[in-house]
Amino acid sequence: ETGVTQSPTHLIKTRGQQVTLRCSSQSGHNTVSWYQQALGQGPQFIFQYYREEENGRGNFPPRFSGLQFPNYSSELNVNALELDDSALYLCASSLVGLAGNEQFFGPGTRLTVL
């Protein structure tokens, strides 16, 4: 069973640029969530995708957008990067359903905005 994978591992961008982060779900999972973890903080929910549609969003502006593909992999896109976007971006996959269902996390992508 393959776990959640993310690419790239690290990324450096400059302010105003655009970035795409990628995530492959764990086998058998149909839901992908993205979280932003600033240094020294807990992860913050960005959004979740189920059946290729966004089905919930946290307090993030529209320049944060995403996609889910038929094979349940996902992308997170961030436009017009700001310095405060520097963070670890975590992808998590799960089976939609009960609140007790575990979300399995990938290792994250470390984004630095200069």
Whether the CA torsion 73, 20, 39, 60 is positive or negative: it is negative
Q: Which is nearer to another protein, 70 or 97 (CB)?
A: 97
Q: Which of 81, 93, 106, 113 binds another protein (CB under 8 A)?
A: 106
Give the C-alpha separation, 66 to 46, whole Å: 10
Check residue 66 for interaction with another protein (CB under 8 A).
Answer: no
Choose between 28 and 100: whose C-beta lies nearer to another protein: 100
Under the binding rule (CB under 8 A), the answer on residue 60 touching another protein is no
Q: Closest approach of Cβ 16 to another protein, in Å?
A: 28
The minimum distance between CB 88 and another protein, in angstroms, equals 8
Spatial distance between the Cα atoms of 13 and 72, rounded to a whole number of angstroms = 27
Q: Which residues bind another protein (CB under 8 A)?
A: 4, 31, 33, 35, 40-45, 47-48, 50, 55-58, 90, 92, 94, 96, 98-108
